[in-house]
Amino acid sequence: MPEQKPPKVGFVSLGCPKNLVDSEVMLGTLTRQGYSITAQKEDADVIVVNTCGFIDTAKKESIDAILEMAELKTQGNCKKLVVAGCLAERYRREIQKEIPEIDFVFGPDELGRILEAVQLDSAAAVPDVSIDALYSSKEVPTIPRILTTPAYRAYLKISEGCDHVCTFCAIPSFRGRFRSRSVADLVAESRRLAEQGVRELVIVSQDTMAYGKDLGVPQGITTLLRELVKIDGLKWVRFLYCYPNMVSDDLVRLVAGEERLCKYFDIPYQHASRSVLERMKRGGHRGIYERQIESIRNLMPNVGLRTSFIVGFPGESEEDFTDLLSFVKNVQFDNVGVFLYSDEEGTPAFDLDGKVARLTATRRRNRIMKEQARISAERLQNMVGRKVEILLEGRSEESDLLLQGRMETQAPDIDGHVLINDAGDKEVTPGEFYTVEITESLDYDLVGRIL
């Protein structure tokens, strides 16, 4: 009998970049075992949906994706439907009961089960490979990754879980306690990525500022960054998800002084009103935040600042909202994300009284976004005439007639772009760095020409 070919596997990865890295590790594990990966879901023998389960909108997107892939069991080639990730961990019993087309479910701390999950022959031997959420594995000392990002950029997940007790957040219940990967592992992985051609490394975790605390590494994130910037080939190293009260003066000075560290801070303040922050169990208040931002800008006047807020949190009054809006106007962030409060079962906020009407919360979000659009347009207008360095990404998402790139103050997938309408007579290459003169500004993007 001819040897049976391994099944073709299709992957759908949803949610945050941390989830994306989990998917890349699973893809690498599969290819190492001889499986072929297909981008055409209709051709896949097995489809894996790596889900997000953070808030209502993410859960709905995950459920919709699962149902869409379930249809391919009757209309396509799919013989097995696998659901992994956060939604799988949080609602394991419920989703299997409600969607009987699902054949296999596993959570983010058991990534090695991907090899069992994709088996079509129940009698075949399954390689015994244990891979957890920190990618530690005795069987595979070097966990492979198949990058799904452009070749010049990669995410580096440095830890898993979270020890904060924010009342609106369910993540600790399904991602677990905070735990860090070792400095040595992270440096080794980053070196491999640089050797593959990665120029921009983006550090992600649930709580980047807590890195190393469980390993007994003082000032863990600064210790790690000092090692990563020594790696040949990397030009930009950026980090996301900074818990406000853990951004140290040492870290700010390091970013200011180290050329390869992007002059960019992503600090989710979540609110500015002291009373709302207290109910969120976030600590801090507007005055502390404004002083923090001032000290960062004193060292780096052209720093890029991103934050995110939740509006409509239980008990948020008009006065609380006005405080938040005033904070946005005063600070003048470069980029702001505003989310409607999502009432998540199993979180302390679920049981709080003073629920805010959805219509009221939506109106508040729209007011902040309108104000931020004005601020963004004004700040970008001040960039016209400047010369900046960009990482060229390729053809624009807006038009095939334009190229697009990003400055170090623009993070991938969440911030704006620099649109290039004039590359001169040069042959330009995505993944390379170019000097651009800014000629025009839009609400969230800039336009420029390559010099």
Phi, psi of 208, rounded to the nearest 5 degrees: -60, -35
The set of residues, in sequence order, having a beta carbon less than 8 Å from that of 1 and lying 6+ positions away, is none
pLDDT of 60-119, one tens digit each?
Answer: 888 888 888 989 888 888 999 999 988 888 888 888 888 889 999 998 888 989 999 998
Residue 426 reports pLDDT greater than 80: no
Domain membership flag for residue 136: no
Structural contact between residues 49 and 95, judged by C-beta atoms closer than 8 angstroms: no
* Average pLDDT of span 271-286: 94
> Would you say residue 125 lies in a domain?
no
- Residue with tokens 């993540």, as numbered in its chain: 171
Specify whether 50 is located in the same domain as 197.
Answer: no
Contact between 316 and 273 under an 8 Å Cβ cutoff? The reply is yes
pLDDT tens track for 255-267 = 999 999 999 999 9
Among 362, 381, 400, the domain boundary falls at 381
Evaluate whether 375 touches 444 at the Cβ level (below 8 Å). Answer: no
| 124 within a domain of the structure (yes/no) | no
pLDDT at 30 over 70: yes
* pLDDT interval class at 132 (50, 70, 90): confident
Q: Are 310 and 392 part of one and the same domain?
A: no
- Mean pLDDT for the chain? 91
Residues 188 and 275 in one domain: yes
**CATH number of the domain where residue 394 is located:** 2.40.50.140
Give the pLDDT confidence score for residue 140 in this predicted structure. 65
Quote the pLDDT of residue 139: 67
Residues 105 and 225 in one domain: no
The rounded Cα 299 to chain-centroid distance in angstroms is 27
Query: Final residue of a domain: which of 381, 399, 415?
Result: 381
Q: CA 448 to CA 450: how far, in whole Å?
A: 7
Mean pLDDT of 173-201: 93
Q: Token pair of 234, please?
A: 């990397």
Residue type for 399, please?
S
Examine the domain organization and report whether 245 and 174 are in the same domain: yes
Whether the model clears a pTM of 0.95, i.e. scores above it, the answer is: no
Q: What pLDDT is attached to residue 109?
A: 87
pLDDT digits (tens, 9 = 90+) for 325-368: 999 999 999 999 999 999 988 899 999 999 999 999 999 999 99
Q: How many domains does the chain have?
A: 3
Same structural domain, 173 and 71: no
| Structure tokens, 258 | 């180290």
Is residue 3 scored above 60 in pLDDT?
no
- Shared-domain flag, residues 199 and 305: yes
Query: 23 falls in which pLDDT band (50, 70, 90)?
Result: very high
Residues 264 and 157 in one domain: yes
Residue range(s) defining the domain that contains residue 110: 8-117
Whether 52 maps to a domain, the answer reads yes
**Of 338, 361, 381, which residue constitutes the final position of a domain?**
381
pLDDT of residue 1: 42
Residues 375-397 pLDDT 10s: 999 999 999 999 999 999 999 88
